[in-house]
Amino acid sequence: MDAKASETRPSLLNKLKTMARKLKANLMVMYLAYRDPRVPLFAKIFAICVVAYAFSPVDLIPDFIPVLGYLDDIILVPFGVYIALRLFPKEVLEEYRAKAEEQRKLGKPKNWITGTFIIAVWIALAVLCGRYFIRLVK
């Protein structure tokens, strides 16, 4: 294989990033469409969880942790979006795509409630780990 052919072919990481960007673009569609009465209850609940986590200003796995830090950005959020989109009726998604494009120009909304919840989980884990280590030392 020559060097020119390998330069034109995108790497696996670039393909994953491109696919993740496309799926994340659908977050706004889900954010707007989950309130529609034509969407089944399970799809609404799943979409709310995915959108709330994606719009949260705090990651469950912080980005400064090598490799794992980007796991949610590259794999978890896009996978959640992919599943949620499969649960939505196609006509509902098509209807909200134009509205989502307008909203996307205004910027990504922040979900501080989910961010607060994730911070609380991290604090609770730190307290539990601290108690465990104190018991080991005694």
Structure tokens at 30: 């889900």
The HSE-up count of residue 75 (CA atoms within 13 Å, CB side) is 7
Structure tokens at 17: 């990033």
User: Is residue 96 a contact partner of residue 29, using CB atoms and an 8 Å limit?
Assistant: yes
pLDDT value, residue 46: 92
Task: Collapse the DSSP code of 115 into the 3-class scheme (helix H, G, I; strand E, B; otherwise coil) and give the result.
Answer: helix
pLDDT value, residue 1: 47
Other Cβ atoms closer than 10 A to 116: 13
Compute the chain's Rg from CA coordinates. 19
Question: Average pLDDT of each block of 10 consecutive residues along the chain (138 residues)?
Answer: 54 78 78 88 90 74 74 78 91 86 68 75 88 86
